[in-house]
Amino acid sequence: MKHALFFCVFSGSLITLAHANDAIHCRTIEDASLRLACYDQLYTPTESAEKVSNTSKAVDLEETYRANIENNTNNNKEAQIVFASNEDTVGKTPSRLQRLYDLERNQGGILTVREHEAMYLLPAWYRSSPNYHPFSPSRGQANNDIQQQQKRLETKMQISFKTKILEDLFKTRADVWFGYTQQSNWQIYNQGEKSAPFRNNDYSPELFITQPVKARLPFNGRLRVLGAGYVHQSNGQSRPLSRSWNRVYLMAGMEWGNLTIVPRLWARVDAKGEEDDNPDIMKYMGYGDVRIHYKIDDKHTLMSTLRYNPFKNRGAIQLGYTFPIKGRLKAYAQGFYGYGDSLLDYNRKQGGIGIGVLLNEW
């Protein structure tokens, strides 16, 4: 017994751990002396604990105990949680960026539908300055019946999803994704000759790669992900209403507690000349955007997208606020001011406000 007590060099934390995980953990220790010491520590009253705390370091039993548990082929889940060194992987709610981009561990596999940009339905969307005669320098002015007869009040909706097509590239956690977003403006309250037409549809497929990173930022922030992508956006209409552009972009994802900020910088990669539907679009849409998500509490969320071109003093701001209705269904209020609420209106300054339901946040 004295020989066993000589090897019983436990720290205070190991004593607590042994009692919490019960005797099954002691059985995983291969060394007989150390195994006996483990049982001794578990069932001996406080006198043994006091001896342990005052004993000189003969054997680092905690280290041996840890190694035996981690290397045992029949590891149990409780031991993995206790010894997990990464604060984001076990026992904690994943952050927003972690869940969106599988930053710590793969979930759902490839070719499964995931949330991407916000998905919403705003049955009532009111605009201050409808674009009755859409214009671009290369396509001129469009005199279209649907545009000329449009009403200020319409329905605005957006669907968006992404799917992972490759994962864990370059022996890292880098993933390749395909995303798709479609925004539609529906003149549902227009009961004229062209009853309730869709005034505009913007289609945005994209391909991008994300690379998880870990870096500290000021004020206890964390840089969580870097990425790069290619996105095409067009409205699918014929000339003179056709609008389209292609971009490559760089992005970063940062978090400060409940605050998530994702800035992007982009460059246009379109052919110039006659094929360009909107040669001046960068003047209005700028060279990037900043998306902000703030979780006020478990029920309320603020979202925003900001764009600004400092050389032309043009930009836009979109604000969103969500609050619960019932269960997982959320009400959604959205406001917009500036240029580019839709691709057809990229050079039309206007304000808009609406309310509806949110199906997915970005």
Q: Where are the domains of the chain?
A: 2-83, 96-360
Q: Residue 313's pLDDT is what?
A: 95
Tell me how far apart the alpha carbons of residues 197 and 188 are, in angstroms, rounded to a whole number.
7
| pTM: predicted TM-score of the whole model, two decimal places | 0.73
Pick the CATH number of 96-360 from 3.30.70.420, 1.10.1660.10, 2.40.230.10, 3.40.50.300: 2.40.230.10
**137 confidence band (pLDDT: 50, 70, 90):** very high
What does the pLDDT average to over 307-328?
94
Q: Residue 273's pLDDT is what?
A: 82
What does the pLDDT average to over 202-229?
97
Q: Residue 37's pLDDT is what?
A: 67
Q: Residue 31's pLDDT is what?
A: 62
Any alpha helices (H) in the chain, and if so which ranges? 2-6, 12-21, 32-43, 46-54, 61-71, 77-83, 96-101, 145-148, 281-285
Model confidence at 75: pLDDT above 90: no
Model confidence at 320: pLDDT above 80: yes
**pLDDT tens digits for range 20-43:** 444 555 665 666 666 666 666 665
Largest CA distance in the chain: 99
* DSSP codes of every residue in 179-220: EEEEEEEE-TT--SSS-S-EEEEEEEEEEEEEEEEEEEETTT
What does the pLDDT average to over 223-250?
96
Percent of the chain residues past pLDDT 70, beyond the cut: 74
Three-state SS at 128: coil
22 Cβ contact partners less than 8 Å away, ≥ 6 residues apart:
none
**What are the tokens at 120?**
């919403």
**pLDDT tens digits for range 83-128:** 223 344 444 677 889 989 999 888 888 999 999 999 999 999 999 9
Catalytic residue ranges: 232, 234
Left if phi > 0, otherwise alpha if psi is -120 to 50, otherwise beta: which for 254? beta
